[in-house]
Amino acid sequence: MTTTSVAQVESGRALRAPARGRRLRRRATLIGWSFILPNFLGFALFTLIPVIAALGLSFMSWDAYNPPKWIGLANFTRLAHDPLFWAALQNTVLYAVGHVPLTLALSLGLALLLNRKLKGIQFFRVAIFFPYISSLVAIAIVWNLLFDPSTGPINALLTHLGVANPPGWTSSTTWALPAVIITSVWKDMGYYMILFLAGLQAVPGELYEAAAVDGANAWHKFWNVTVPGLRPTTFFVLVILTVSSFKVFDLIFVMTEGGPGRATLVLSQLIYQDGILNGQFGYSSAISLVLFVMVLVITLFQYRLQNRRQD
């Protein structure tokens, strides 16, 4: 009897274990979802569904008055012949090409400079972070006035330094975009500096000591210890920075309203104009899709690059 009972118990346990596991897993699933649900409901309704809807809308013709109609790729062929779209696309890319590397370089430089134990260093960090949190409209207006071609302090300084014909900045079709880029770099660098500072503090100090023992100079230390140690942070910064550059709107809109002419018109503003102002929901969704695909491709490219470096 005793032997069989052991066998029975063993087999019973073997039978019950998966059942118990399944019940536990179901319980965990319920608990997990109960935590996520309050946020997920809002997220699904106001982000996920609109994202999917935008995808569908870009293949439809729909304005505020007529019912939506499937028109296939017609929106995209129209886009290809829309000079405003090409201007906005070009400006968006140029903005990103200026904004991303400049912000990256400056925020990393500031982080390296401010990553030391020094009396009052916290004050300097906070001060450099401050532009990031200050009122957007205020910043846009102040920089507009600083950039004023005839009365602004920037051109007064340039003239003083011997520049004969200082740029017209926001009133010039060539210089408006650089002016906007300068302002946005100034505004954003503090935020990314904080991220880099955190990354620097996570690099183990022993690595620097080991490098010093090996006789490495400052440049070697930076290249062989700091740069690899900062890789995850740099990747994160690069992705966030690129995404935010491609969706820039507020600052440019308040500074120049896309002008002069279409010199600073970016894709976001075009989406706003065609969609919200002109009620061409389908057409403007097609522009959104182009913007989305561009950001996605760049993000995936950065991700691949990051993974390859790690191997």
Residues 193-232 interacting with another protein (rule: CB under 8 A): 194-199, 201-202, 231-232
Q: Nearer Cβ to another protein, position 12 or 32?
A: 32
Closest separation between CB of residue 160 and another protein, Å?
A: 9
Task: Name the strand (E) or helix (H) holding 70.
Answer: strand 69-70
- Check residue 137 for interaction with another protein (CB under 8 A): yes
User: Of 267, 252, 261, whose CA–CA distance to 143 is shortest?
Assistant: 252
Three-class SS of residue 127? Answer: helix
Strand partners for 70: 60
Q: Nearer Cβ to another protein, position 48 or 73?
A: 48
**Tokens 């300068």 -> residue:** 182
Residue from 93, 94, 156, 211 binding another protein (CB under 8 A): 156
- Check residue 184 for interaction with another protein (CB under 8 A): no
Closest separation between CB of residue 261 and another protein, Å?
A: 17
Check if the beta carbon of residue 91 is closer than 8 Å to that of residue 246.
no
Three-class SS of residue 225? Answer: helix
- Check residue 169 for interaction with another protein (CB under 8 A): no
- Residues 6+ positions from 282 with CB-CB distance below 8 Å: 57, 58, 59, 60, 61, 62, 63, 68, 71, 75
- Check residue 50 for interaction with another protein (CB under 8 A): yes
What string marks each residue from 62 to 101 as x (binds another protein by CB under 8 A) or -? ----------------------------------------
- Check residue 299 for interaction with another protein (CB under 8 A): yes
Residues numbered 228-267 forming contacts with another protein, rule: CB under 8 A: 231-233, 235-237, 239, 243, 246-247, 249-250, 253-254, 267
- Check residue 126 for interaction with another protein (CB under 8 A): yes
Cis peptide before 260 (omega within 30 of 0): yes
Q: Nearer Cβ to another protein, position 263 or 285?
A: 285
Closest separation between CB of residue 167 and another protein, Å?
A: 17
Residue from 12, 42, 204, 228 binding another protein (CB under 8 A): 42
Residues numbered 99-118 forming contacts with another protein, rule: CB under 8 A: 110, 113-114, 116, 118
Task: Say how many residues make up the chain.
Answer: 311
- Check residue 306 for interaction with another protein (CB under 8 A): yes
- Check residue 171 for interaction with another protein (CB under 8 A): no
d(CA 12, CA 128): 67
Listed ranges 15-23, 42-50, 79-87, 212-220: which one lies at the site for another protein (CB under 8 A):
42-50
d(CA 144, CA 179): 9
Pairing of strands 60-61, 69-70: antiparallel
Tokens of 158: 């340039």
- Check residue 15 for interaction with another protein (CB under 8 A): no
- Residues 6+ positions from 181 with CB-CB distance below 8 Å: 95, 98, 99, 102
